[in-house]
Amino acid sequence: MSAESSAAEHSGAEKQRLSETRSIDYIPLSERHGHPFSQFTLWFGGNLQITAIVTGALAVVLGGDVVWSIIGLMVGQVVGAAIMSLHAVQGPRLGLPQMITSRMQFGVFGAVIPLVLVCIMYIGFSASGTVLAGQALAKLIGTSNATGMILFSAIIIVIAVLGYRVIHQLGKVASVIGVLAFVYLFITLLSTHDLAAVWQNRHFTVASFLLAVSLSSSWQIAFCPYVSDYSRYLPADVSAKKLFSAVFFGTVLGTQASMTLGVIVAAIAGKAFSGNEVGYIVGLGSSATMAMVIYFAICFGKITFTTLNAYGSFMSLTTIVSGFRQKSAISRGGRILFVVIMVSLACVIALISEPAFLKSFTHFLLFLLAFFVPWSAISLTDFYLIAKGKVDVPALSQPNGRYGRWNWPGIITYFLGVLVQLPFIENPLHHGSLTWIFAGNDVSWIIGWFVTALLWFNARHFDRRGKLTRSLYPHE
């Protein structure tokens, strides 16, 4: 059998295989497949879920009104989703998962810095999903919350191990289930509650408006470290405009629908919502049967979203380990082990912190944003303005290669990007000294992104990576 026919046979088998065999290694052109619309269904369906509802509700719970909270959330969606969608375009252009490309800016070993923070974020997201989905699953099958969380975690492990293709299929199903569930919930709200008073209660404040913007923008930007993990199998010549639009509109529409529902429900429920988020949403069901259906919709929506985090954590942990082993391939057993470790950590955190987890998680998410904004600014500035899409793929696994072990210009720029935000952060975890300039409002992520992008664009004069005139990919 010739090498060409063997490669073709492998490609055909790979495209039909349910379980993914690739991890952080380059996806050859012969194995590329799919259409940008799959990105729309993935991010639309993935965001029609309970955590997004609760996050949107916080805009009202923390003092905002309905109208300006919805507007503020929409503004944040657009800004955050635009940044996220630019990262998505990197996937098919490079054929690589998101975080391994950080070795271009930080070095093969230096990339561990943002990777560790990404892993922490994944665990936090997964834990929040496990809390809410575990409660719903427990009600659905009549067991304890703890048992529900453990069973939910087991489901996530199986799907994350199967990988890319199964996750995209889940996104399609989640879109259908999510739309049906949300249409029912919106109709129920409109038909059983008088919303006139809710809409008329308008009390615009800059603080509440910026909080809503920050909640939704941080939600979207938090996807940036793994969004291209789910686009990297697309054909390399896929239209950037179509891919950008699919991701952008999918994530904006899905998230805004969830957060708008959360805003309205929180305004109607008042104090009855906080601490009983799942129970109150399910209580909108007109019968015991509909309540069970809503419980199922909540569980299924969280399966999709939490699987994204589990899969992303596996990719990030693999990237950390492979950087020191200088290998990109990972065995089937290693894949299972990494997924089990990350999901188990999230499950343990969920089990020991269930009662007050969601409020603490929101503060954690907004604070963690300070560490991902400069990474995003460096990554996008480098890809679009400096490297212009060119990458030496083999060198990503070579500490002595083009990108080196530690790329100090990138590392220093990253930490400067974090430091420049600290005076402008207003969070229970950190109160910046200069927030008074903006009337106590947190605008750190805006300042951090643009300052870091400017710093990195100018730092290229000190960058020793060398100019790359063409992309260097493994032999096709």
Using one digit for the tens of pLDDT, what is the confidence trace for 195-207? 777 787 778 888 8
Q: Calculate what percentage of the chain has a pLDDT beyond 90.
A: 17
pTM of the model as a whole: 0.83
Fold (topology level) of 39-462: Hydantoin permease (1.10.4160)
Q: What is the mean pLDDT of residues 248-269?
A: 91
Q: Which H or E run includes 293?
A: helix 288-325
pLDDT at residue 327 above 70? no
SS3 category, 465:
coil
Structure tokens at 372: 């991902």
| Residue boundaries of the structural domains of the chain | 39-462
- pLDDT for the residue 329: 62
- In 3-state terms the chain splits into helix, strand, coil percentages (rounded to 5) of 75, 0, 25
Using one digit for the tens of pLDDT, what is the confidence trace for 5-14? 444 444 444 4
Among the listed ranges 80-89, 321-330, 361-370, which one has the minimum average pLDDT value?
A: 321-330
- pLDDT for the residue 416: 95
pLDDT at residue 2 above 50? no
Other Cβ atoms less than 10 A from the Cβ of 469: the count is 7
- pLDDT for the residue 27: 83
Strand partners, 427: 430
Q: Give the residue, 24 or 296, on which the prediction is more confident.
A: 296
From the list 52, 70, 51, the residue with the least C-alpha distance to 60 is 70
From the list 345, 360, 331, the residue with the least C-alpha distance to 428 is 360
Q: How confident is the model at residue 411 (pLDDT cuts 50, 70, 90)?
A: very high
Q: How confident is the model at residue 436 (pLDDT cuts 50, 70, 90)?
A: confident
In angstroms, the CA 55 to CA 317 distance is 27
Q: Where are the alpha helices (DSSP H) in 48-99?
A: 50-61, 66-94
Which residues, 6 or more positions from 214, have their beta carbon under 8 angstroms from its beta carbon? 76, 366, 369, 442, 445
pLDDT at residue 81 above 90? yes
In angstroms, the CA 448 to CA 417 distance is 6
- pLDDT for the residue 10: 45
